[in-house]
Amino acid sequence: MKKTIITMLIALVAIVASAETYNYLKFTKTNGSTVTCSVEGIKVTYDNNNITVTNNEGTTTIALAEVQDMYFSNEAGGSDFMRGDVNGDGYVTIADATKLINYLMSGDTTDVNLDAANCDQEGSVTIADVTSLINYLMNGTW
Ligand SMILES: [Ca+2]
Ligand SMILES: [Ca+2]
């Protein structure tokens, strides 16, 4: 049943994509990173709990369990940053909260990933993102 729904969903988004001529199919993974696939020559298949995207650039396979969101976009940005990993070391820790607060107070963008720093994924990078990041550190969910 789940497989049928997903197959239908993939068919549906393919129709929407061709109608709207988006440039990219993007996936948001549960770890907060983003996978961006060009729609040039794209073919999306689903098998063994994996979504496989084949396009002119090659093949990308993503485990369904890791997919939080799947959508079309015209923006290539947001490639492979981890939400909350402000300092870009691959982990979301209190050091990222410190880095974020330092950035907000000083405006110093050295080693600051502003995409990852927008923790609430709304608007720009503000004190609300610090709150969002600290809540994540305490609760383990965004
Ligand atoms: Ca980090
Ligand atoms: Ca924000």
CA of 88 to the centre of ligand 1 (A): 5
Distance of CA 28 from the midpoint of ligand 1 (Å)? 18
Confirm if 70 and 63 have CB atoms less than 8 A apart.
no
Which pLDDT value is given to residue 54? 93
d(CA 139, CA 47): 33
Tell how far the Cα of 138 is from the centroid of ligand 1, in angstroms: 15
What is the structure's pLDDT at 32? 75
Q: Are 130 and 98 in contact (CB under 8 A)?
A: no
Q: Whole-angstrom Cα distance, residue 104 to residue 99? A: 9
For the chain, give every residue range classified as CATH 2.30.30.
2-73
Under CATH, which architecture does the 2-73 domain have?
Answer: Roll (2.30)
Nearest ligand to residue 114 Cα: 2
Q: How far is CA 99 from its chain centroid? A: 21
One digit per residue, the tens of pLDDT, for the chain of length 142 reads 667 767 767 766 666 655 567 888 988 888 878 888 888 889 999 998 999 999 988 999 999 999 988 888 887 765 567 899 999 888 899 999 999 999 999 999 999 999 999 999 999 999 999 999 999 999 999 9
